[in-house]
A and B are shown apart, each in its own frame.
Chain A
Amino acid sequence: MNLFLIIWGAATVVGLVLLIVLRPDHHISWLVIIASLTAFAVWVSLPSNPGIHIDLNNDGEYGVDRDLEFRQGLDLAGGVKILLEADLPDNETPPAGSMDEVRHIVESRIDSLGALEPTVQLQGERRLIIELPGYEDPEGATSLIKETALLEFVEVPGPIVSGTPILTSYAMERSGGEPEATEEEAGVGLDAPDFAADDTVYETVMTGEILENATVQSDQTGEVMVAFRLTPEGDTQFAEYTTEHVGDYLAIVLDGVVLSAPRIQTAITGGSGVITGQFSLEEATRLATQLRYGALPIPLSVESTSTVGPTLGQISVEQSIRAGIIGIGVILLFMLVYYRVPGISAALALLVFAVLNLMVFKLVPVTMTLPAITGFLISVGTAVDGNILIFERLKEEVRSGKKISRAVEVGFDRAWTSIRDSNLSTLIICVVLYGFGTSFGAAAVRGFAITLALGLIINLFTAVTVTRTFLHFIMLPLSDEMLEKRRWLLGL
Chain B
Amino acid sequence: MFSNFVQRRRLYYLISAAVIIPGIIAMIYSTIAFGSPVRLSIDFRGGSLYVVQFEDTATETGIRDVYTEFGQDDPVIQQLGDPEDNRWQIRAGALTAEEQAALKQALIDKVAPIDNNQSTLDVVSPTIGGEVTRAAFFAVLAAAIVILGFIWFAFRSVPNAPRYGACAIAAMVHDVLVTMGVMSILGIFFGWEVDALFLTAVLTVVGYSVQDSIVVFDRIRENLPRYRGEEYDMVVNRSVLETIHRSLATQLNAIFVMVAILLFGGETIRQFIAILLIGLLSGTYSSIFTAVPLLVSWEKGDLRFRRKEAAA
A155 beta carbon closer than 8 Å to chain B: no
A83 beta carbon closer than 8 Å to chain B: yes
Contact A323 to B265, CB < 8 A, known contacts A139-B101, A306-B121, A439-B132: yes
Contact present for B118 and A311 (CB under 8 Å): yes
A303 to B123, CA, bound (A): 8
Contact present for B260 and A436 (CB under 8 Å): no
| Contact residues, A83-102 vs B (CB, 8 A) | 83, 85
A324 to B269, CA, bound (A): 13
| Stretch in B10-18, B75-83, B134-142, B186-194 touching the partner | B134-142
Contact present for A384 and B253 (CB under 8 Å): yes
A310 to B53, CA, bound (A): 13
Contact present for B117 and A309 (CB under 8 Å): yes
Contact present for A304 and B136 (CB under 8 Å): no
A140 to chain B, nearest CB (A): 8
Contact of A432 among B143, B245, B258 (CB under 8 A): B143
Interface of A is mostly: helix
Contact A382 to B115, CB < 8 A, known contacts A320-B265, A392-B245, A441-B128: no
- By CB atoms of chain B within 10 A, which of A315, A323, A326 has the most? A323
Contact present for A324 and B132 (CB under 8 Å): no
B58 beta carbon closer than 8 Å to chain A: no
A440 to B135, CA, bound (A): 10
Residues of B contacting A305 in the complex (Cβ-Cβ under 8 angstroms):
97, 100, 121-123
Contact present for A433 and B242 (CB under 8 Å): no
Residues of A contacting B245 in the complex (Cβ-Cβ under 8 angstroms):
388, 392
Contact of B210 among A326, A385, A425 (CB under 8 A): A425
A432 to B144, CA, bound (A): 10
Contact present for A440 and B246 (CB under 8 Å): no
| Stretch in A63-71, A196-204, A254-262, A373-381 touching the partner | A373-381
Chain B 103-121 interface 0/1 with A at a Cβ cutoff of 8 Å (1 = within): 0000000000001111111
| Stretch in B158-166, B200-208, B288-296 touching the partner | B200-208
Task: Look across to chain A and name the residue whose beta carbon is closest to the beta carbon of B215.
Answer: A418
Contact present for B256 and A371 (CB under 8 Å): no
Contact present for B123 and A306 (CB under 8 Å): yes
Contact present for A370 and B266 (CB under 8 Å): yes
Residues of B contacting A310 in the complex (Cβ-Cβ under 8 angstroms):
117
Contact present for A444 and B122 (CB under 8 Å): no
B127 beta carbon closer than 8 Å to chain A: yes
| Contact residues, B236-285 vs A (CB, 8 A) | 242, 245-246, 249-250, 252-261, 263-266, 268-269, 272-273, 276
A349 to chain B, nearest CB (A): 13
A436 to B146, CA, bound (A): 14
Task: Look across to chain A and name the residue whose beta carbon is closest to the beta carbon of B259.
Answer: A327
A319 to B261, CA, bound (A): 8
Residues of B contacting A316 in the complex (Cβ-Cβ under 8 angstroms):
266, 268-269
A319 to B270, CA, bound (A): 11
Contact present for A433 and B122 (CB under 8 Å): no
| Contact residues, A326-383 vs B (CB, 8 A) | 326-328, 330-331, 334-335, 338, 370-371, 374, 377-378, 380-382
Residues of B contacting A441 in the complex (Cβ-Cβ under 8 angstroms):
43, 124, 128-129, 131-132, 135, 196
A439 to B142, CA, bound (A): 15
B211 beta carbon closer than 8 Å to chain A: yes
B121 to chain A, nearest CB (A): 5
A137 to B256, CA, bound (A): 40
Task: Look across to chain A and name the residue whose beta carbon is closest to the beta carbon of B154.
Answer: A421
Residues of A contacting B121 in the complex (Cβ-Cβ under 8 angstroms):
138, 305-307
A79 to B116, CA, bound (A): 11
Interface residues contributed by chain B, number (CB under 8 Å): 71
Contact of A309 among B53, B208, B214, B263 (CB under 8 A): B53
Contact present for A377 and B207 (CB under 8 Å): no
Task: Look across to chain A and name the residue whose beta carbon is closest to the beta carbon of B134.
Answer: A439
Task: Look across to chain B and name the residue whose beta carbon is closest to the beta carbon of A142.
Answer: B97
Q: How large is the interface on A (under 10, 10 to 19, 20 to 34, 35 or more residues)?
A: 35 or more
Contact present for B264 and A326 (CB under 8 Å): yes
A120 beta carbon closer than 8 Å to chain B: no
Residues of B contacting A378 in the complex (Cβ-Cβ under 8 angstroms):
204, 254, 257-258, 276
A23 beta carbon closer than 8 Å to chain B: no
Residues of B contacting A452 in the complex (Cβ-Cβ under 8 angstroms):
204
Contact present for A304 and B211 (CB under 8 Å): no
A468 to chain B, nearest CB (A): 18
Contact present for B128 and A83 (CB under 8 Å): yes
Task: Look across to chain A and name the residue whose beta carbon is closest to the beta carbon of B122.
Answer: A306
Task: Look across to chain A and name the residue whose beta carbon is closest to the beta carbon of B137.
Answer: A436
| Contact residues, B29-47 vs A (CB, 8 A) | 43
A422 to B256, CA, bound (A): 20
Contact of B197 among A309, A371, A384 (CB under 8 A): A371
A333 to B297, CA, bound (A): 39
- By CB atoms of chain B within 10 A, which of A312, A338, A384 has the most? A312
Contact present for B261 and A138 (CB under 8 Å): no
A46 beta carbon closer than 8 Å to chain B: no
B232 beta carbon closer than 8 Å to chain A: no
Contact A309 to B97, CB < 8 A, known contacts A421-B211, A426-B211: no
A466 to B255, CA, bound (A): 24
B98 beta carbon closer than 8 Å to chain A: yes
Contact present for A440 and B146 (CB under 8 Å): no
Residues of B contacting A309 in the complex (Cβ-Cβ under 8 angstroms):
53, 115-120
Residues of A contacting B134 in the complex (Cβ-Cβ under 8 angstroms):
439
A293 beta carbon closer than 8 Å to chain B: no
Residues of B contacting A82 in the complex (Cβ-Cβ under 8 angstroms):
97
A192 beta carbon closer than 8 Å to chain B: no
Residues of B contacting A384 in the complex (Cβ-Cβ under 8 angstroms):
249-250, 253
Task: Look across to chain A and name the residue whose beta carbon is closest to the beta carbon of B126.
Answer: A303
Residues of B contacting A438 in the complex (Cβ-Cβ under 8 angstroms):
135
| Contact residues, A132-168 vs B (CB, 8 A) | 136-143
A335 to B178, CA, bound (A): 30
B298 beta carbon closer than 8 Å to chain A: no
Residues of A contacting B261 in the complex (Cβ-Cβ under 8 angstroms):
320, 323-324, 327, 374, 377
Contact present for A327 and B256 (CB under 8 Å): yes
B125 beta carbon closer than 8 Å to chain A: yes
Residues of B contacting A382 in the complex (Cβ-Cβ under 8 angstroms):
208, 250, 253-254
Residues of B contacting A330 in the complex (Cβ-Cβ under 8 angstroms):
256-257, 260
A92 to chain B, nearest CB (A): 15
Contact of B272 among A78, A326, A374 (CB under 8 A): A374
Chain A 53-79 interface 0/1 with B at a Cβ cutoff of 8 Å (1 = within): 000000000000000000000010010
Residues of A contacting B252 in the complex (Cβ-Cβ under 8 angstroms):
334
B155 beta carbon closer than 8 Å to chain A: no
B96 beta carbon closer than 8 Å to chain A: yes
A-B complex: 5 closest residue pairs judged by Cβ atoms = A381-B257, A139-B101, A327-B260, A439-B135, A441-B132
The contact sample of 6 A-B pairs, CB cut-off 8 A, is: A82-B97, A138-B121, A302-B125, A330-B256, A428-B207, A441-B128
> Which A residues fall within an 8 A CB radius of B?
75, 78, 82-83, 85, 136-143, 302-312, 315-316, 319-320, 322-324, 326-328, 330-331, 334-335, 338, 370-371, 374, 377-378, 380-382, 384-385, 388-389, 392, 396, 418, 421-422, 425-426, 428-429, 432-433, 435-442, 444-445, 448-449, 452
In the complex, besides A139-B100, A327-B259, 9 extra interface pairs with C-beta distance below 8 angstroms are A309-B119, A330-B260, A334-B256, A371-B269, A377-B261, A384-B253, A418-B218, A435-B139, A440-B128
